[in-house]
Structure 1
Amino acid sequence: MIGVSLVFGSCILFISNGIGLIRAYDQCNSSLFVDNDSGFMGCNRMNKSSIQQFAYKPNVSLNNNNISVLMQVINENLIRQEAETNLHSLTVQNLIYAIPPMALVNSTNVLCKKHSQIYLEELEKLTMWALKMYDSSAKVPSGILNGNINQFGDFDQCLNANDQSSGIQGQYCLAYVEMDAAGDNEKIKNIIKLMHSHSAFRSRLEDPGHRVPRFSTINWAICTPASCSPSDIEQEIHTLLSKYVNTNEIRFRLKVDPNMCQTLRKSYVPTTGSLIAVLTFGALFATIALSTVLDLLSTRLQESKSSLSKFIYSFSLKRNILQFINLNESPDSIKSIHSIRAINAFMLLASHKSMAMFFNPYSNRTQMAEKLGKRWTVLARAASLYTDPFIFMSGILTCTTFLRHLERKGKINIPNEYLSRYVRLVPTMGAIILFCTMILPNLGSGPQWNLVVKQHADICEKYWWRNFLFIHNLFGFKNVCLSHTHHIGIDSQLFALSPLLVWTLWKWPKKSLVAMIGLAAFSTGLRYYATMTKKLNLFINYSSSVSTMYDTADFSYVLPTHRLTVYIMGILLGYLLKCVGPNYKMKSINIKLGWIIAIGFFYQAYIAPSKMGDMNYVYNVIDAANYAAFAPICWCIFFGWIIFISHTGNGGLVSEVFSWKGFIILTRFSYTFYLTQFPVFFYNVGSNRAPLEYSFGLMCDIHEFLVTIFVSIALTVAVEMPFNNIKTAFIRKS
């Protein structure tokens, strides 16, 4: 729409000013003219319509004689210069003036104004750097009604559009424009609706854009001299739009974020933080190499009892790879948990990938939005549902572990358990935070790099310590360092409460059961109440607003009090499994009845809410509240039934499939798989420089998937498993 308005306006100017404006040739050589304090003097085009003025170099004194000589020289070369100009530039000039360049000649910034004037002069002369600057800005594309409205221009060409003689450096800015219909003209409304691709996500300029895309905001690339500030550019765009857009028909707002303006970085001076990060990872790799070599050459390291040997041996690549592929597990383990963890991990990956895809521009985005406005997209829209089984299974495993301690010792060594969990989780999370904060921002570039990579790094640089204390989910979703790690905070806070819950359940089973059911019901009520009163929705329905998504996260999704229900369900199931044992036999009729009930819960959690994914669905707060309150319960009951019949030997073929040992390996890197996927996604989003053509195959990016798997396994073997070995070697078990 920006481009359409500009083209329409330029056509009016073209007709009103006449062909003479296009053919005018500037007789002034811009290399002879600079800005001075006394203003701009002397040298107009032969075409009287020209308004460009320049100041002659101050070391030349201008008087009547000088001017006469200058004009004589100009007149002697006029015919030759005009012939040359018409010979090689008239066609290009016609094209350029049909789509006017972005030149801030009216800027109050003196240097910006001067550079913009030089840019226009050199553009008329077909100077290559000026042509590159002009060519790099976004132009009007075809397919606007198919959503091809986000235009990134030419990022790399803009950054390299430099002129050393005049000190002009190319600056790439990605401007944001918010546009909607102001009147009752249905045709205008429909045009904007198609242009915004039905607003699959409704967004505003104020919405944070680093985690959830501002889908209905237009992205438009502008290439200008770096001397022009973002506010200068914003004012110029506003002036142009105000001139050509009828505000009685279309309302618009725009923003040029300073963080989204970039220039070429010719050299890199490492910061203290990046040096620390490089040294830290260097020391880690050196330790791994030393440990692996010593382990390969001798068994002494493995047999030594010294603390130093145990520490070094913990990092042996040989040892950790063998542990990684080992399919043996404890007789007390709940085998089906591995498969359920893997299923939900891959479903969560698909949901996260879907969200990341919406950051990219598409030439057929409206068609994409229409295809994704179907009920089957519940696969991605139910993203919050896939995290509940992890909390549920955490409750199961925590309960069974603590019950074993209570049976053997009569107590739970709480400090030991807290320390053990801290050592297991923090080093791996710390490694990914350190890499994403200090190293990753320097490994790439692109139109949205600062938005999806640098902004995450800036947040982590401020708030990384919250992650290390497991409180990062309590300060608002937009302020979370690596926002997808909020789940670690929730689970850790619930784990901190678990010793009390399990101990009371072991000590007073009946009373504790009643109390815990009451707590679960209270947590369910909190979800229902918050959704009803604040109009939230855990299900990402079609045309959800970005602000609603953040409110849903802040007021419900990331709060441990709202996620307590499924954690308590996990503790109760863990207690039940401990009581009945692995050889509990059920009647055939009861198994069939259990399956019918479980499938009913699955339908209620997953199939019934899918209507909210249809593009014609109208938000209903009752639907949203019921989903928030009861879908997590139904979802976890379904998987709880599979766990129960598999563990007790009543599942038949289902038990065999869900208890397949191969899922153990997937479980081993499920934590790092969760941590690394968004950095991989955002690296690719930030590096993307041009519109894509949407097809469902983009969801199945094999290269991206393999990179995520490889990085996850590498992080598991290099960081997570070594620190688990250290935990085992140095932290005394209960």
Structure 2
Amino acid sequence: ARRLRDPATVWPCTEALADLARSPQAREALSVMLDSSSRTSESQLSNKLLGLGYPSRIGDYDECESATPILQKSGLVSVSVATNCVLGLLTREGMPRPEGGGLGSLCLPQICTAEAMESEEVRSFLRESVKSDLRLTHLGRRYLENLRDTVELSFSTDTGFTCGSHEFPVSWGAYLVGGLIAMLGVLVLLSTVTEYWLPMLHRRMGDVGEAFSARRSLNRLFNLTRKSPEFRVLDGIRALSMAWVILGHELAFEASIGYINSYAALPPTGALKGWLAQILFSSRYAVDSFFFISGFLVFNSVTSRLERNPTLQFKDWFPAFVSHRWLRLTPTYMFCLLLWWKIAPLLGSGPLWFHWKFYVELCDNYWWSNLLYINNLYPFGMGENNTCFFHAWYLANDMQFYLITPLFILAFLKNRGMAVTLVLCITLASTSAAFLSAKSFNWSAADLDGAAVTAYDREGYIMPYFRIPAYLIGMLLAMAHLTAKSLFPLTHHTLDPFLATILEGVGLALVLVCVFGGVDADQARPCSYLMWPTGNLPCGSGPEWDTTER
């Protein structure tokens, strides 16, 4: 709902602004307040030249706070405390903006609340004062002109203000999570110390001592020896994909805060121009690597066990199949969710910390969807960033794919040709649906395509029916592997070196096409999150995504 604006907050604000802009005694404080505010006209010009609608310089919070003692010495009755208000973290309806970064900030009298600055009355006051108030000092006129430009930007972009520093109180939930962390720390310390120096006591601790021993856990984590080196290549794919994910998120997290020197960071003039930057822009593919590996390993391991035990019935192994995965993931998953929900908001404060309120409220309302692994589907169509612990959309997809894997396993054990046909048909259907949806809803996966990529991230990116092809291809490879083992049981299943080289070359070529094939789409000026890449105002991937009919 739109935030309520109390008319009673407007008059004290306009009176304080008028006194501040007219008083010669306030000149020193006003100079600090103006200097600590962002220059909206300069930011708008810079972003217009670059083709961006965000972000801008957001002023100097600490410098604004330093104006308070100067104001108190000036003798102004209506203005004694200065506060920093950031524009652009919220819409005027009070909802977080998908862009993340602010559009600017103002150093204001504390009496000027966010609601007052969003009112039509303050907007009219600033227009009239700058135009006709002859009592304004020169510095006061410059100050009100900057306020006027920023308020006009608020109306033109439908964005709101947030004022002051934001921090979260310590809740009972935080105390409970803190207690859980302390208990786990004590168990780890006790188990590790007894293993080294009190082995008799350690043995008496039984499974608890083994489970919480740091030495044992680290040895298992870094142990590279395997009973069979058959799938060791997957470890390399995991490592490279994880590095790729981290690299891509480095770009994403910086962009969510905003660049004050966009021209130096983003195409066409910044550090991310050129074909090498495409490695960052194509990092979405790294997630598909994990889906592929998961599909291969689950199908191969379960099918191999069932082939060794053909008398096992579905009702005998399926409950254990589900409970094993849920119990293996959920405790650690929920612990991380609690850290995000109850502890992380306490680790900072400041004018930009307001965003944590949105994330905390999402978990207050939807934590149970994570527990059930449906957080990618509920709330439906809200996108990754509008779910509790939004990073976990991958786990929800992977669990859903895991739960339907037995259908393909049973089909494979009954008729291998039918199973392969089923996988190919579903893969084709999912890919076709994604293609048609992209054309119908003007989606784009190019990171600089503004509203087009925002629409894709919100409506398609985390949906299981669009993400399943990579998992299915993993299962398809497992089917081929199991079939080869059954046809040639006495061989070592080693490919001819020449054939292996050809296959590696084809695979590498496909990877390069996927990664660098879209390089042209990420070399133009970026679109803002509100801008569709059109032929009229070139940005992003350009006219092929023209949506002027919208």
Deviations 1:242-295 (A, max 9, x none): 97799xxx996145535x322477xx7522222222222222212222222232
Q: CA deviation at 1:108?
A: 5.4
Counterparts of 2:96 and 2:279 in 1: how far apart (Å)? 23
- Percent of matched pairs sharing the same residue: 20
Aligned partner of 2:86 in structure 1 is 174
User: Matches of 1:251 and 1:152 in 2, distance apart?
Assistant: 14
Which residue number corresponds to residue 620 of structure 1? 544
1:468 aligns with 2:352: no
Deviates more, 1:342-351 or 1:602-611: 602-611
Structure 1 portions without partners, runs of 5+? 1-105, 179-203, 623-734
Inter-CA distance 457–177: structure 2 relative to 1 (3 Å threshold): closer
Instruction: Give the alignment partner of residue 231 of structure 1, picking from 107, 112, 115.
Output: 115
Q: In the alignment, does 2:247 pair up with 1:350?
A: yes
Tell me the residue number matched to 1:591.
500
Give the direction of change, closer, same or farther, for the CA distance of 1:127–1:376 in structure 2 (3 Å limit): closer
Do 1:486 and 1:558's aligned partners in 2 also have CA atoms closer than 8 Å?
A: yes
The partner residue of 2:352 within 443, 448, 456 is: 448
Structure-2 residue corresponding to 1:390: 290
2:520 aligns to what? 611
- Report the equivalent of 1:535: 442
- Answer whether contact 2:82 2:107 (CA < 8 A) is retained: yes
Q: What SS does the corresponding residue of 1:222 show, helix, strand or coil?
A: strand
| CA distance in structure 1 between the partners assigned to 2:213 and 2:104 by the alignment | 51
TM norm structure 1: 0.58
Report how far residue 238 of structure 1 moved. Answer: 7.0
CA distance in 2, matches of 1:214, 1:339: 34
The residue correspondences of 1:323-472 to structure 2 (distance < 5 A) are: 323-331=220-228, 333-369=230-266, 370=268, 371=270, 372-410=272-310, 411=312, 413-451=317-355, 453-472=356-375
**3-state secondary structure, aligned to 1:228:** coil
Shift of 1:580: 2.9
* Structure 2 Cα separation of the partners of residues 580 and 588 of structure 1: 17
Per the alignment, residue 319 of structure 1 pairs with 216
1:498 offset after TM fit, Å? 0.9
2-structure distance, mates of 1:320, 1:332: 22
- Within the candidate set 378, 390, 393, 1:483 is matched to 390
Contact 2:164–2:350 (CA<8 Å) still a contact in 1?
Answer: no
Cα separation, 2, equivalents of 1:272 and 1:251: 37
Deviations 1:624-653 (A, max 9, x none): xxxxxxxxxxxxxxxxxxxxxxxxxxxxxx
Q: 1:177 to 1:606 in 2, by over 3 A?
A: closer
> In the alignment, what sits opposite 1:570?
474
Q: Does the 8 Å CA contact 1:273/1:438 hold for their aligned counterparts?
A: yes
Question: How much does 1:473 deviate?
Answer: 0.6
* Cα offset, 1:424, TM superposition: 2.4
**Residues 575 and 152 (structure 1 numbering): CA distance in 2 closer, same or farther, change over 3 Å?**
same
Shift of 1:140: 6.7
Based on CA coordinates, which of the two structures has the bigger radius of gyration? 1
How big is the shift at 1:485?
Answer: 1.8
Which segment is superposed worse, 350-359 or 406-415? Answer: 406-415
Counterpart contact for 1:173–1:223, Cα < 8 Å: yes
Rate the CA distance shift 1:559–1:269 in 2: closer, same or farther, 3 A: closer
Distance 1:170 1:251 in 2: 20
Mapped pair 1:499 → 2:392: no
Q: Distance in 1 between matches of 2:519 and 2:450?
A: 18
Pick one of 261, 267, 274 that aligns with 2:163: 261
The SS at the match of 2:107 is strand
Aligned-partner Cα distance in 1 for 2:363–2:497: 54
Q: Shift of the alpha carbon at 1:496?
A: 0.7
Q: Any residues of structure 2 matched to 1:253-292 within 5 Å, and which?
A: 253-255=156-158, 257=160, 260-263=162-165, 269-292=169-192
- Residues of 2 paired with 1:144 and 1:379: CA distance? 30
Aligned position for 2:99: 213
1:558 aligns with 2:459: no
Q: Which amino acid in 1 is paired with 2:164?
A: Q
Aligned with 2:60 (options 129, 141, 154): 154
Q: Distance in 2 between matches of 1:329 and 1:168?
A: 70
Residue of structure 2 in register with 1:16 after alignment: none
Amino acid at match of 1:377: A
TM-score by length of 2: 0.75
Residues 554-595 of structure 1, C-alpha deviation per residue, up to 9 Å, x if partnerless?
Answer: 432211111222211111212322333482243455334424
Number of residue-to-residue matches in the alignment: 476
Q: Deviations over 1:313-340 (max 9, x none)?
A: 3112122122222222231651011111
**Structure 2 SS opposite 1:109:** helix
How far 1:601 moved relative to its partner? 2.2
DSSP 3-state at the match of 1:538 = coil
Q: CA deviation at 1:487?
A: 1.0
Q: Is the 8 A contact 1:207 1:214 kept in 2?
A: no
Question: Among residues 135, 138, 148, which one is paired with 2:38 in the alignment?
Answer: 138
1:505 to partner: Cα distance = 1.0
**AA of the residue aligned to 1:572:** L
C-alpha separation between the residues in 2 aligned to 1:323 and 1:526?
Answer: 43
Q: How far apart are the structure 1 equivalents of 2:241 and 2:94?
A: 29
> In structure 1, the residue corresponding to 2:376 is in which secondary structure?
helix
Give the whole-Å Cα distance in 2 for the aligned partners of 1:419 and 1:207. 41
**Equivalent residue letter for 2:331:** P
Q: What is the aligned partner in structure 1 of residue 10 from structure 2? A: 109
Give me the whole-angstrom Cα distance separating, in 1, the residues matched to 2:365 and 2:18: 41
CA separation of 1:491 and 1:238: change in aligned 2, threshold 3 A: farther
Sort the Cα spacing of 1:136 and 1:603 in 2 relative to 1 into closer, same or farther, 3 A.
Answer: closer
In the alignment, the residues of structure 1 paired with residue 244 and residue 352 of structure 2 have an alpha-carbon distance, to the nearest angstrom, of: 26
Alpha-carbon distance, 1:228 to partner: 2.3
Cα distance in structure 1, aligned partners of 2:24 and 2:403 = 66
CA distance in 2, matches of 1:613, 1:206: 32
Q: 1:585 to 1:273 in 2, by over 3 A?
A: closer
Q: 1:537 to 1:487 in 2, by over 3 A?
A: same
1:296 to 196, 202, 220: 196
Structure 1 residues 551 and 254 mapped into 2: Cα distance closer, same or farther (>3 Å)? Answer: closer
Contiguous gaps of at least 5 residues in structure 2: 1-6, 48-53, 132-144, 486-490, 525-538
* Cα offsets for 1:499-555 (capped at 9, x unmatched): 221232123212222122112211111111211211112232x3x124x33421343
Are 2:424 and 1:517 equivalent residues in the alignment?
Answer: yes
Q: Which amino acid aligns with 2:544?
A: N
Q: Which whole-Å CA distance do the structure 2 matches of 1:328 and 1:301 have between them?
A: 30
What is the deviation of 1:494? Answer: 0.3
Matched residue, 1:640 = none
Q: Compared with structure 1, are the counterparts of its residues 422 and 123 closer, same or farther at alpha carbon in structure 2 (3 Å cutoff)?
A: farther
- Distance of aligned partners of 1:328 and 1:241 in 2 relative to their CA distance in 1, 3 Å threshold: farther
Rate the CA distance shift 1:416–1:422 in 2: closer, same or farther, 3 A. same
